[in-house]
Amino acid sequence: MSADSFKRAAAEAAVALVQPGMSIGLGTGSTALFATQAIGARLREGSLRDIVAIATSKGVDDLARELGIPLQDDAMPRAVDLTIDGADEVDPDFNLIKGAGGALLREKVVAEASAREVIVVDESKLSPRLGTRFPVPVEVLEFGWQSQAGFLAGLGAEVVPRRKDGQPFRTDQGNLVLDCRFGPIADAHALAARLAGRAGVVEHGLFLGLVHDVIVAGPGGVRHLRRGDP
């Protein structure tokens, strides 16, 4: 099976948790997109109804509209029952690095508003410690961004400004992203606190203590891991 097959299997297992009447968060990224497509398919076939969704990026918002998924206002007046999202790296305590798709701010807003955050990944995203395989994306204001790069380097990061098509990458909010390779992070909570306390840092890709379920697909099948399981 291909990596996409594993991603699709994990996403479809998560979509089985979606029930009529729910408010759903739609994640950004290749695995989460499979979940959005599966939700659209269930709506079309009639096995799912009366849901409303909130998209974590403009791209996912556009896709949801194409698929006929009802969306609530971006002001998010309704609480989110269940969010299905992907991750770049997942540690044994269900902490994450997210933001490879550049939607880390909106993804975190929706995650923090969700009663249940479900992460769907293939086995390659599992890691013994955050930072082992992926850099931490840090969204920063364009104003003073080189100052932020210096601050992040002072914390031990190798800092690479993200680019797309030869130009600085911009988030849906118009901000820049600095990809920060720290290596294995000894204390992710302490690092998150340092990043959150810096003016000009809009958001960071450390998602700590937000996840309830991780659904993992690989050659051995699909595993549903729940917070608190032995």
For the question of whether the overall pTM of this predicted structure is more than 0.85, the answer is yes
Nearest-angstrom CA–CA distance, 230 and 227: 9
**206-207, strands of its sheet edge to edge:** 89-90, 96-97, 206-207
> Could you state, in order of their start, the residue ranges of all structural domains in the chain?
3-126+208-219, 136-202
Are 97 and 109 in contact by the 8 Å Cβ rule? The answer is no
Cα separation, 92 vs 178, whole angstroms? 26
- Give yes or no: 107 in active site: yes
The domain defined by 136-202 folds into Alpha-Beta Plaits (3.30.70)
Which tokens is 178 given? Answer: 């600095």
Per residue in 94-150, pLDDT tens? 999 999 999 999 999 999 999 999 999 999 999 999 999 999 999 999 999 999 999
Say which of 12, 45, 89, 107 is annotated catalytic. Answer: 107
2: Cα separation from own chain's centroid: 22
Kindly tell me if the per-residue pLDDT of 1 is higher than 70.
Answer: no
Note the pLDDT tens digit of each residue in 7-64: 999 999 999 999 999 999 999 989 999 999 999 999 999 999 999 999 999 999 999 9
CATH number for the segment(s) 3-126+208-219 = 3.40.50.1360
Helix (H) or strand (E) holding 180: strand 176-181
Name residue 8's amino acid.
R
